[in-house]
Amino acid sequence: MHPKQKTMDKTKILFVCLGNICRSPSAEAVMKGLVEKEGISKNFEIDSAGTAAWHAGEPADPRMQVHARKRGYNLTSISRPVNPETDFDKFDYIIAMDEQNMRDLKNMAKKKEHLDKLHMMTDFSKEYNYKSVPDPYYGGEEGFELVLDLLEDSCQGLLEHVSENEQTNKK
Ligand code: 4NP
């Protein structure tokens, strides 16, 4: 590969939850906010998807939008299901919000390289010690706040991980 091409490659990140209307669109917005703040958004492609297609074509859950907006995040993404035919090849990091999302993604993966791209969001946590980002859909307001707390923390960790990885790959 021409050396110039490497620097032009974007790091592609896909966040995945069940419905793609609460957790993963929020992760997408938090991560986009972080890379914008750092002035490095041109190096990234960031998207989200759901393991279920129930809400395909819908904007984020209005409750999630309200809580996100209070922290300055505008949830603009429209729900879509994971496409196993294209997403596993396209994205470098595929990040599951909970264990069921991870099981579903593992079942969709067709080869070892696909499995290697799978991570749990909370594996990148710095301050919190949660095993997953809990589904806020059937709960109260505090669930939506917890989602944002966990995502702000783990997206920071993810950005540090990606930056370190990129440095090592360039050496
Ligand atoms: P999400 O939340 O996976 O964070 O988008 C949910 C959205 C919808 C449903 C469950 C969880 N649902 O049952 O429709």
Secondary structure of 75-116 as H, E, C letters: CCCECCECCCCCHHHHCCEEEECCHHHHHHHHHHCCCHHHHH
- Reading the chain (171 residues) residue by residue, the pLDDT tens digits are 455 445 569 999 999 999 999 999 999 999 999 999 999 999 999 999 999 999 999 999 999 999 999 999 999 999 999 999 999 999 999 999 999 999 999 999 999 999 999 999 999 999 999 999 999 999 999 999 999 999 999 999 999 999 999 877 765
Q: CB of 147 closer than 6 A to ligand 1?
A: no
Tell if the pTM clears 0.85, that is, is over it: yes
- Does residue 2 fall inside a structural domain? no
Give the domain range for residue 108: 15-162
CATH number, position 27? 3.40.50.2300
For a substitution probing ligand 1, which of 15, 18, 63 has the most ligand atoms within 8 Å of its CB? 18
Ligand 1 nearest atom to the CA of residue 101, by list position: 3
Q: Which of 21, 61, 101, 146 to mutate to test the pocket of ligand 1 (most atoms within 8 A of CB)?
A: 21
Is 1 among the domain residues? Answer: no
